[in-house]
Structure 1
Amino acid sequence: MALIYKLPQISGHIAKMLLLIQALLQAQDQSSIFSRGLAKFSINVYTKLVANNPNDNIIFSPFSIQTCAAMARLGASGRTATQLDRGLNLISNNEIEIAESFHNVLAAFEKSSVLRIANKIYIKSGYQLRDEFSSLIFKKFLSGVEPIDFTQNEKAARAINSWVEQRTENLIKDLISPSALDENTQLVLINAVHFKGTWARQFLEFDTRNENFYLNNDNSIKVPIMIMTERFRYAKLDFLDATALELPYEDSNWSLLILLPNRKTGLPHLERKLRGTQLSQIREKLYLTEVTVKLPKFKSEFKVELKNTFEQLGMSEMFSDKADFSRMITSPEQLKVSKIFHKAVIDVNERGTEAAAATAMIAELTSLRIPLQKPKNFYADHPFNYYIINNQSTVLFAGKLLNP
């Protein structure tokens, strides 16, 4: 008779498993914190954009804006850095932790079949990035760096815009005008996002027909409305006086989340309520049920200069002569941000959704269906909010549709 004891090996195996589980939980927690911060930033930016563009369809990428500005944050110090940490709702006020949080997200997104993200820094010929800043940008933000002669502003703008067009499948054109560049321009930081998702359950084109889309209680227009009855995640949200629907994209964890006010003129009320509501809380209330969906086909394009928005969100010093970006370039000359351009496009049709966005920050010198019950109705025939969002509630795009 022989007794063979292997407790140490078993214990070692268990210890490894516990460490792995702990690491996974920590990663999930970090991802959750990142997503919550991005969602808060998204709502804050959206609120300012709506206030400044009350009669326009809006589409923007909070992820693109936050990523571009976070690259600049890594080169900031003092009050400039503090304001960016707070205004961007970053995961930390430590440069290494900030960079690591974006790296984890960007590395995960690299595996996506529907999403493409690219970062780039153009630096004035003859100037160099500081080693620590350059290392973080290259290793964590996966960004390339290229010298360029900003004094030849038309040629420089063409080069930058061409890079953006290529990374967004030609959806984003003319992001930067030549007049935005001159001999004082030292850096241009760029983030570009392209998303192309096919619906997990596609609308049939021959079911699409012209129906009314109500602009308000009295006025409507005829627009192409896509129609389908299928099982989707859906919820009535009495606390928002709205209804939510999630349309998933094929072979991904991304979906289009639509928040539809119960009243035709209820969008402003919904927008106010959303300021204190986390999108993750909304998604937790969704459940799978049979839904008859009516959704307009639409295309939206929106371009904005974000300086005022950033200032309104408490990030003003970066634009002033007091700006401190001393961790960014080797030159002793002071830098400040002169402009932040953002442009986004979205196309929603029977097959799915294609969307793209780009953000540029310019730094210059200081001078199977089983019907169990009657289907729910989700008729998006009046203004609504929408988000392209993943299972971690990371907001890639956000917008409102007033007029298809």
Structure 2
Amino acid sequence: MSKTSGKGMDSLSVANAQFCFDVFKEVSCDHTIENVLLSPLSILSALALVLFGARGNSASQIEKCEDTAVHLLIQALLSEISKSSHSQVHIASGLFAEKAHPFLPKYLDCIKLLCKLRPENLDFRTHLEEARMQINAQTENKTKGEVKELLFPSSLTSSEQLVLVNAISFRGAWKYAFQKDQTMAMAFRLDESQSKSVQMMRLQGHLKLGSITKPPGQVLELPDVEDHLSMVIILPSKDVGLGQVTKEITHEKLNNWISSGNMKDTAVVLYLPQLRLEGFPEDLAAVLAALGMVDVFDRSRANLSGIIAGGGLGVSKIIHKAMLEVNESGSEFTLTNQTIKVENPEIFNVDHPFLFFILHKETKTILFYGRVSNP
């Protein structure tokens, strides 16, 4: 049994999925037609930075979003995922306080030990632009240049007290290669009346394929080259809107859809648009407040006495940005990917809006959840 197996991981997978669907529904209310991308596991890892030093109601409200028993498992799982040599995952989290509020030494020691990072004091009040650029540079460095400009000039104000940031990037390397010479322009139907031309990739191989009855559609699993992570594509029937699927999807349904009882090894030709998705840098404060995490954002009610001495301090912003790229393997992975011909294949043509998940296969933990309305 690996270190990511067992009951603790089961509880992490469930808590993470519940959090994922709750946050996604809230975010979708503000972004009804755009592409949406978020990483629930990465957001939870960032919230742990505040949870370690929150007390009283501030702590218990965060615990509703994150089970305290699992935050160490999150660190272990993210560490294992980011060490994967082929599918590249880079994560950056940071906690930054106005320089008038120094962090408690005990808190700094705890975060360094548990999360391998050091919260920092910055001068938001008189050197705001310098503070913003420092946070951006750190994020870009930790994500190996994948996430640039996390914070826009308008993202921060001089009254910030405590800013939590989190960024994650992903580039997939798949078991079966998308061949560059197979990519062609094809129509992608945006809605009943509009289509656009997209660069449609093609691959063939033996993949797990299943059907969904309510709401009607299909589900396909694309494993990465190490069988470590997988991309699960939920493709509704053409007459079913994505809104209906996102409303009805639950952790239990997703598990049923991807279960061995539903998914069968099938010869498949997959058509998938080239994807480069960047979740907009989202301040999740309002989203998390809607989910019950209220006190930590209200300086009159927040109790962060385990982070900074004295009261009257709240979290100003929680900024999350996810970046994901799925394209033809023009990289060093080409030789390791299989390219095969399949007989009598099923055609899985992702030519209209769809949902997808990037899962850690062993634990079925959701690393990314995305909605593609307009590739």
What amino acid is aligned across from residue 335 of structure 1 in structure 2?
L
State how far apart, in whole Å, the 1-side matches of 2:115 and 2:3 are. Answer: 23
Assess if the C-alpha contact under 8 Å between 2:164 and 2:318 holds in 1.
Answer: no
Structure 1 residue 131: Cα displacement: 4.5
Corresponding residue number in structure 1 for 2:164 = 189
Aligned length: 360
> Does 2:103 correspond to 1:103?
no
Counting only pairs closer than 5 Å after superposition, residues 79-158 of structure 1 correspond to structure 2 as 79-86=57-64, 88=65, 90-92=66-68, 97-113=69-85, 114-125=88-99, 127-150=101-124, 151-158=126-133
Assess if the C-alpha contact under 8 Å between 2:168 and 2:322 holds in 1.
Answer: no
Structure richer in helix, relative to its length = 1
Which of 363, 370, 375 is the aligned partner of 1:399?
A: 370
Structure 1 residue 197: Cα displacement: 2.4
Assess if the C-alpha contact under 8 Å between 1:245 and 1:258 holds in 2.
Answer: yes
State how far apart, in whole Å, the 2-side matches of 1:178 and 1:32 are. Answer: 41
Instruction: Describe the shift of the 1:199–1:263 C-alpha distance in structure 2 as closer, same or farther (beyond 3 A).
Output: same
Which of 285, 296, 305 is the aligned partner of 1:326?
A: 305
What amino acid is aligned across from residue 349 of structure 2 in structure 1?
Y
1:256-312 CA distance string (max 9 Å, x none) = 111000124431221122036353333213232111211111322231222221122
TM-score where L is the length of structure 1:
0.81
State how far apart, in whole Å, the 2-side matches of 1:187 and 1:62 are. Answer: 21
Instruction: Describe the shift of the 1:289–1:98 C-alpha distance in structure 2 as closer, same or farther (beyond 3 A).
Output: closer
Assess if the C-alpha contact under 8 Å between 1:153 and 1:179 holds in 2.
Answer: no
Structure 1 residue 242: Cα displacement: 1.6
1:149-201 CA distance string (max 9 Å, x none) = 33311111111111111122333222224555566544333333232221221
Could you tell which deviates more after superposition, 182-191 or 303-312?
Answer: 182-191
Query: Partner of 1:65: helix, strand, or coil?
Result: helix
Query: Partner of 1:174: helix, strand, or coil?
Result: coil
Structure 1 residue 115: Cα displacement: 2.2
What amino acid is aligned across from residue 266 of structure 2 in structure 1?
T
State how far apart, in whole Å, the 2-side matches of 1:380 and 1:46 are. Answer: 22
Corresponding residue number in structure 2 for 1:289 = 266
> Does 2:350 correspond to 1:380?
yes
1:80-107 CA distance string (max 9 Å, x none) = 2121111x2x234xxxx34423333234
Q: Give % identity.
A: 28
> Does 2:278 correspond to 1:301?
yes
> Does 2:182 correspond to 1:207?
yes
Query: Partner of 2:205: helix, strand, or coil?
Result: strand
Structure 1 residue 383: Cα displacement: 0.3
Assess if the C-alpha contact under 8 Å between 2:166 and 2:321 holds in 1.
Answer: no
Corresponding residue number in structure 1 for 2:314 = 336
State how far apart, in whole Å, the 2-side matches of 1:218 and 1:181 are. Answer: 40
Instruction: Describe the shift of the 1:132–1:157 C-alpha distance in structure 2 as closer, same or farther (beyond 3 A).
Output: same
State how far apart, in whole Å, the 2-side matches of 1:100 and 1:302 are. Answer: 26
> Does 2:233 correspond to 1:261?
no
> Does 2:38 correspond to 1:68?
no
Assess if the C-alpha contact under 8 Å between 1:39 and 1:279 holds in 2.
Answer: no
1:345-364 CA distance string (max 9 Å, x none) = 222212289xxxxxxxxxxx
State how far apart, in whole Å, the 2-side matches of 1:305 and 1:137 are. Answer: 23
Which of 214, 217, 225 is the aligned partner of 1:250?
A: 225
Corresponding residue number in structure 2 for 1:174 = 149
Instruction: Describe the shift of the 1:242–1:352 C-alpha distance in structure 2 as closer, same or farther (beyond 3 A).
Output: farther
Query: Is there any run of 5+ residues in structure 2 with no aligned partner, and where?
Result: 332-337
Could you tell which deviates more after superposition, 175-184 or 51-60?
Answer: 175-184
State how far apart, in whole Å, the 1-side matches of 2:330 and 2:23 are. Answer: 26
Instruction: Describe the shift of the 1:123–1:336 C-alpha distance in structure 2 as closer, same or farther (beyond 3 A).
Output: closer
Stretches of 4+ aligned residues off by more than 6 angstroms: none
State how far apart, in whole Å, the 1-side matches of 2:374 and 2:186 are. Answer: 13
> Does 2:202 correspond to 1:231?
no
State how far apart, in whole Å, the 1-side matches of 2:32 and 2:46 are. Answer: 26
State how far apart, in whole Å, the 2-side matches of 1:159 and 1:202 are. Answer: 38
Query: Partner of 2:15: helix, strand, or coil?
Result: helix
State how far apart, in whole Å, the 1-side matches of 2:320 and 2:71 are. Answer: 22
Assess if the C-alpha contact under 8 Å between 1:245 and 1:257 holds in 2.
Answer: yes
TM-score where L is the length of structure 2:
0.87
What amino acid is aligned across from residue 301 of structure 1 in structure 2?
E
Assess if the C-alpha contact under 8 Å between 1:44 and 1:275 holds in 2.
Answer: no
Corresponding residue number in structure 2 for 1:41 = 19
Structure 1 residue 62: Cα displacement: 1.5
Assess if the C-alpha contact under 8 Å between 1:264 and 1:382 holds in 2.
Answer: no
Higher radius of gyration, 1 or 2: 1
Instruction: Describe the shift of the 1:302–1:102 C-alpha distance in structure 2 as closer, same or farther (beyond 3 A).
Output: closer
Structure 1 residue 389: Cα displacement: 1.3
State how far apart, in whole Å, the 2-side matches of 1:82 and 1:158 are. Answer: 33
State how far apart, in whole Å, the 1-side matches of 2:122 and 2:4 are. Answer: 41
> Does 2:283 correspond to 1:277?
no
Assess if the C-alpha contact under 8 Å between 2:147 and 2:168 holds in 1.
Answer: no
Assess if the C-alpha contact under 8 Å between 1:216 and 1:264 holds in 2.
Answer: no
Could you tell which deviates more after superposition, 216-225 or 173-182?
Answer: 173-182
Query: Partner of 2:181: helix, strand, or coil?
Result: helix
Instruction: Describe the shift of the 1:242–1:193 C-alpha distance in structure 2 as closer, same or farther (beyond 3 A).
Output: same
What amino acid is aligned across from residue 45 of structure 1 in structure 2?
V
Assess if the C-alpha contact under 8 Å between 2:204 and 2:341 holds in 1.
Answer: no
